A and B are shown apart, each in its own frame.
Chain A
């Protein structure tokens, strides 16, 4: 694992020659050794086409490339940091929650409407997360940010999980997500419990939920 959690808000990454990391620009706290930080005009990997994709998708949080030989400390805004390891599966996360990830992972964007149809598109509007989300695929580790601590909830076909859209951080695995509601029509008419909409995640994988309903 390239990332080591120093405390709940800082991770230490090891960089070796020939390997590279991507991190959110400005998230470096300290480093040791010979390490270079290059602002990434295209906001990630994959060349010009994927850059345009990200711009259109509004998932273009400025990233930088970290290369060299040494260790780097990352942290940002006093947010809680969670390290997630991927073994060939795909992580779905909002771009602004990405703190750092290994260069071995393939970055992309996904149109939320392609899952759950119209409700998938409504989901983006309700959660204020837009219509696209960032995906990371392959083998490697990712450090994501959250407000407060993070809990990991397993998802199995027998055990779908419903998550408050504001508390949702990321999910990985073979998971379908759609917007659901736990209200009857009576409750829709002005008697809200404050829990009108949830993301329903079903399939096989895990979802990460933060201990807060505040956006970063």
Chain B
């Protein structure tokens, strides 16, 4: 039911069911739609507490209705991700829409988040269904297998899924401290089995300045 119309507009066909989408991302609809505000970080009291603690305060709306609803966000590229019971980790600012049946929550990212300037927590999406994530420029999907680990620039990382361990890698040396570093002092290293989504652009990060 998720369909891309061009690379920057998401069309969702709905027959009485619901999707969750980033607040204010609807650009057009036909048929009958109702928009209701939700909040990120999971549902219920526990979600509310997590949101308070984690600062991962995405505002989400629930869209329910009959017809087609079109979503877009600041002309950024949209990527569709299929989930079959696995978990997607994504920065809340890159999450555009998810099937109503998918559960969203937050997870601790450790040092990586701090280096990205995105906080210590990230959003998780879990269950069976589709999610749409945005990227600055067309994203590539890189496969990680036990033989082939991957290191990614924190500013270019947008999401990952599968059974992956992530660690924070630093190449900070005496030269870096002297201001003669290569400009690539920090990476996130992924090991295991899964997919990593990388955008052809680098957000401003604390790490990027080193």
Contacts and interface: CB of A to CB of B under 8 A. Distances in A.
B86 interface: no
Given A148-B75, A151-B70, A163 B28 contact: yes
B10 to A, nearest CB: 9
Interface residues on B, range: 20 to 34
Interface of A: 80, 147-149, 151, 153, 159-164, 167, 182-183, 187, 191-195, 198, 207, 209-214
A41 B72 CA distance: 38
A182 B33 contact: yes
Contact of B30 (A160, A183, A193, A195): A160
Given A167-B28, A193-B61, A149 B75 contact: yes
Interface of B: 5-9, 23-31, 33-37, 59, 61-62, 70, 72-76
Nearest to A80: B75
A212 B30 contact: no
Contacts of A183: 35
A164 B33 CA distance: 13
A198 B27 CA distance: 9
A194 B29 contact: no
A161 B73 contact: no
What 9 A-B pairs are tightest by C-beta distance, nearest first? A148-B75, A194-B24, A211-B8, A167-B27, A193-B61, A211-B72, A193-B35, A194-B23, A212-B75
A162 B28 contact: yes
Given A148-B72, A182-B33, A194 B61 contact: yes
A149 B75 CA distance: 7
Contacts of B75: 80, 147-149, 210-212, 214
Nearest to A147: B75
A211 B37 contact: no
